[in-house]
Structure 1
């Protein structure tokens, strides 16, 4: 049952990012997922709901999700949030080094299958490399927060430094598509004309990225044949 689940999705920043607040309405513990933009607003939203931010969860460490240098701009992100709250920063172990300058000793290095407990609400971490080596999704109460791995009707880019189309195909087909059809998909960006959510079942049927029956076909479609 998810009667105590606290979940808030908000679009912030200049790149149509979705930032999430998740936690327990019973214990009032909460995590922020990918807080790169508008830190004041994130803190205000949590305070308005009387939630205490105890964790920061990173789907991956691109600057538009955690802060850093982006197109000549310095986005404070995680570093600024840590000036406001005392929180652990949860990042996949393969990308922890990218966040160390921003988060220091607050880093929690995690791996596939690990869980983070927010009071009575458990968040399961699913390692989904492809967009980046340490990309991960967060499964909580039948909701899947997918970052830049899976979007509504598409998947994350695999032509960036550190991207790997073979890993993306494996992550999509052997990890995400193994989830229940009713699992709600909550993406990392508003790339679907304002649609805020989907489901694994809907993406299985309609998302072009899931229609390729072999790795070779997927690679050809991604321009990596």
Structure 2
């Protein structure tokens, strides 16, 4: 597996290109991500959203059209693809696949698992491919996603962190902002966040 990353836009939102067995998966194409993505893929097969906030989905539609590939978005965040309370000029996009909570997909032998961790947004999910977890805005290095936004839920975030604590394996975490960490590392801080949300 090969992973390319580039922070996009004012919020430095990480856009990832994950290549497995010659297939390119584009995760969270944010603001002005299109040119970088197009220049760094050879066999793109899907666009994957961890959640629906504008800085993670801005280039969805442009890449759908340019690359002629499907968009996978957690179903509970579909409403965020066409309107943003922060960015009225968000280019609307439309999911080809509305991902059910904890749904897994098989792309000719490459397994892609969405794991539902609501709280930051209703559909907020991590995406697991091989030994990597792309955590969007759920978990960061020594931090978690904010719960004071429209559609956020502190209660659901606490429940999600309880679920996260129970993951029995370790993987490298590639978050939506900032640098990498691991599941085991961030599980150490789960109780702190549960008690302080």
User: What is the TM-score with the length of structure 2 in the denominator?
Assistant: 0.87
Q: Distance in 2 between matches of 1:102 and 1:6?
A: 30
* Superposed displacement of residue 181, structure 1: 4.8
> Which residue in the other structure is 1:193 paired with?
none
Give the CA RMSD over aligned residues. Answer: 1.9
Q: Distance in 2 between matches of 1:103 and 1:65?
A: 12
* Superposed displacement of residue 127, structure 1: 0.8
Match among 33, 52, 71 for residue 27 of structure 2? 33
Structure 1 position 85 matched with structure 2 position 67: yes
Match among 127, 134, 139 for residue 145 of structure 1? 134
Q: Distance in 2 between matches of 1:116 and 1:19?
A: 20
> Which residue in the other structure is 2:186 paired with?
203
SS of the equivalent of 1:23 reads strand
* Superposed displacement of residue 212, structure 1: 3.7
> Which residue in the other structure is 1:72 paired with?
none
SS of the equivalent of 1:158 reads coil
Contact persistence 1:180–1:201 (CA under 8 A): no
Structure 1 position 45 matched with structure 2 position 40: yes
Match among 58, 64, 72 for residue 55 of structure 2? 64
Q: Distance in 1 between matches of 2:93 and 2:8?
A: 21
* Superposed displacement of residue 130, structure 1: 0.2
> Which residue in the other structure is 1:71 paired with?
none
* Superposed displacement of residue 113, structure 1: 2.5
Q: Distance in 2 between matches of 1:156 and 1:142?
A: 22
SS of the equivalent of 2:4 reads strand
Q: Distance in 1 between matches of 2:107 and 2:151?
A: 31
> Which residue in the other structure is 2:170 paired with?
182
User: What is the TM-score with the length of structure 1 in the denominator?
Assistant: 0.77
Contact persistence 1:180–1:200 (CA under 8 A): no
Q: Distance in 2 between matches of 1:203 and 1:149?
A: 11
Number of aligned residues: 188
> Which residue in the other structure is 2:88 paired with?
none
